[in-house]
Every structure is written in structure tokens, then in C-alpha cells.
Chains A and B, each alone.
Chain A
Amino acid sequence: MEKTLPKIEIIEKYCKGCHICVEFCPKDVLEMKGFCVSVKNLEACIKCMQCELRCPDFAIKVITE
């Protein structure tokens, strides 16, 4: 079965660059670009939603079907 990739939506206006999502992502999907988080490797995402759960700033959404 082909793996379906989620869509990771980042609201740049809300992100305060705390690094929590980057550090606690088990698959190293995210990275910091300046003060804001961005997606580095979407293929590795396993949709565990840890980044969305732990983002204190409502800045990350992992959209699956």
C-alpha cells in the first residue's frame, strides 16, 4: 500500500521559534529557518502528531485525510 503523506501547515505569524516541535519530532521532519519552523523532510513523517500536540503557539497543523 502506498504511504499517504500528510500536509504540515505552519502558521508563521504564530510561531515564536521555541524549538519544541523540532526537538521532540521522532523522525526529524522539521527544522528551524531563522525564527520560524519549516518542514525539512516530509517523507519521513509518521503522522504521530507530537508537534501539533506540543506546539504552545497553535502554529503547527498536521493535516491527514
Chain B
Amino acid sequence: MAFDYDKWIRPGKLPHIWCPGCGHGIVMKGLIRAMETLNLKKEETAVVSGIGCASRLPGYIDCCTLHTAHGRAAAFATGVKMAKPEMNVILVGGDGDGTAIGGNHFIHACRRNIDMTYIIMNNYIYGMTGGQFSPCTPTGHKASTTPYGNPDPGFDIAKLAIGAGATFVARGTAFHANQIDKLIVEAIQHKGFSVVEILDDCPTTYGRRNKYKSVIEMMNRLKEVAVPVKAAEKMTAEQLQGKVLTGVLYKEEVKPEYTAEYAKVIERAKASK
């Protein structure tokens, strides 16, 4: 039987605003499949986003949603989680929203290890605002503000998240669509701050400036660069040149979770009176 996405879509919201071939729709389908797999209740699930193409996602999903200020998804989501720790909080956003404008919120949410899932759709560019380069734009690639090539080295979001203290970090691609929901399921089940980076394609503002002839060429690139973590173990450093690891990259369960720790602080404060 075909999967029933309609249950999780707000009536009358489709077709969505994303451009033809944009991978955000594929990620949204993955998120919906993950929420259905986990049998999440709509009134106990909050999807929070900032600003940007990817951040339009909560507008389509039929559950508790917040569309907030640019880069501030993690701050608003922290508020939701602290007020109602029983909620399943899922953040969505793009690479510019998450790692540049919201970079500070992102690393501190990682550091706190608050129980949320952050899905970062990395399309290497600021799409909505006109194709400016983001911290994830690879060196030498073109954007509307770097017409002669971007001199900056790009961020590795997964390494950044691990370094900042996130306890679950995974990476997938929009091409490997059936892996997306599995990674998100594992991330939501994990107690602590989980980051799922999904490599995406932006044919409109990134692809055409960087000599990708079509969406298909961009999808094929994702297929070529992605190497599953297990397969990478058998490969040499030379073979891994230019490749990107996919799958669950990091997981630890020792670090205490923030809302549980904060509940202890409340207990201590009450006891001292």
C-alpha cells in the first residue's frame, strides 16, 4: 500500500513552494515516515524552524509547529522543551540558518545536550534570500555574492556538532531517500541532542551557478560522494578523498540530558527552603 502522507499534511497546503527538484520535499517525506513509524501524537510533537527555504517545512506539517526568527529555532525549541519536557521537539532548518545566523544557538544546544532532534538540510547555499554563499559552500564554488569562487573553507556540520557536544550525529542525503526516515527515527529515540544532517540539492540558486546541468546531475553527485560508515572502514584515505560519510557517525549515552538535570536543580532548590 502506498504510504499515506496526507495524515500529516495540513489540508490545502500542497503543492509546496519549493522549486522543481528541490530535495526539501524528500526530507519532509522522510520526517513524516519517521513520525508515523514512531507513532508520535500530533499534540505531543513540536516541529520548530527558523527562516529559509527549509524552514518553511513546519507550515505543511499537521502537528504543533513554530516558525520563528532567523537562526533562532534552537532557542525557541529550548523554550518549548523546558516548559513541556514530555514533548517530542524536532527542529528543521537549512545550513545558513543553522550554522551561520543560528550558529551560536546551535553549538550551545549541542553543548547542553537537551533532548531534541535537529534536522539540518545542507544545500550549500542561502536559497531563499538569493543564493548568497553560506558557511557550507565548498571552497571555490560560486554563489551570488562570490561570483569568482568562494575563498572560505566550508563547515563540516557533523564534526561541528560532535565537537560542540551533541550526543547523536548522523548524516544522510536526499538521494538515499529510504535511509532518511531510519536516521530520523534513531535520532528521535535518542535521549539527548541529536543532529541529522541531510545533504540536499538546490538546483535554482546553487546548481545553475556551479555548472550542474540538471537536478539529476546534482542527485547523481550525492550518490557518488556518499560512502556508508561501514564501507569507509575498509577504504584507504586516498579512496576517501572527496567523499562524505553517511549513516550514524557518533552516538554516546553517558552525558546527562539537560531537562532531567534541570529537574534535579528544581528539586535541590525546593529542598533548601
A residues apposed to B, CB below 8 Å: 9, 13-14, 16-20, 23-24, 50, 52-58, 61-65
In contact, A58 and B21 (Cβ under 8 angstroms)? no
B9 lies within 8 A of chain A by Cβ: yes
B240 lies within 8 A of chain A by Cβ: no
Chain A residues whose C-beta falls within 8 Å of the C-beta of B215 in the assembled complex: 18-20
In contact, A57 and B15 (Cβ under 8 angstroms)? yes
Chain B residues whose C-beta falls within 8 Å of the C-beta of A20 in the assembled complex: 21, 215-216, 219
A36 smallest CB distance to B (angstroms): 11
Classify the secondary structure of B's interface with A: loop
* CB < 8 Å A-B pair total: 64
A39 smallest CB distance to B (angstroms): 14
With known contacts A20-B216, A53-B177, A58-B14, A63–B21 Cβ distance under 8 A:
no
In contact, B9 and A56 (Cβ under 8 angstroms)? no
Cα(A13)–Cα(B15), bound, Å: 7
Cross-chain contact of B2 among A13, A50, A61 (Cβ < 8 A): A61
Cα(A13)–Cα(B14), bound, Å: 9
B242 lies within 8 A of chain A by Cβ: no
Cross-chain contact of B216 among A14, A17, A23, A62 (Cβ < 8 A): A23
| B interface residues, tally (CB under 8 Å) | 25
Chain A residues whose C-beta falls within 8 Å of the C-beta of B25 in the assembled complex: 55-58
B192 lies within 8 A of chain A by Cβ: no
Cα(A24)–Cα(B175), bound, Å: 10
In contact, A54 and B1 (Cβ under 8 angstroms)? no
With known contacts A13-B15, A58-B25, A63-B1, A18–B177 Cβ distance under 8 A:
no
Cross-chain contact of A14 among B14, B21, B22, B24 (Cβ < 8 A): B14
Chain B residues whose C-beta falls within 8 Å of the C-beta of A13 in the assembled complex: 15
Among B9, B24, B26, the most chain A Cβ lie within 10 Å of the Cβ of B26
Contact with A along B80-108 (1 / 0, CB 8 A): 00000000000000000000000000000
A62 smallest CB distance to B (angstroms): 6
Cross-chain contact of B219 among A24, A57, A61 (Cβ < 8 A): A24
16 A-B contacts (beta carbon < 8 Å): A13-B15, A16-B15, A23-B216, A52-B3, A53-B29, A53-B177, A54-B26, A55-B25, A55-B26, A55-B29, A56-B18, A56-B24, A57-B15, A57-B25, A58-B16, A63-B2
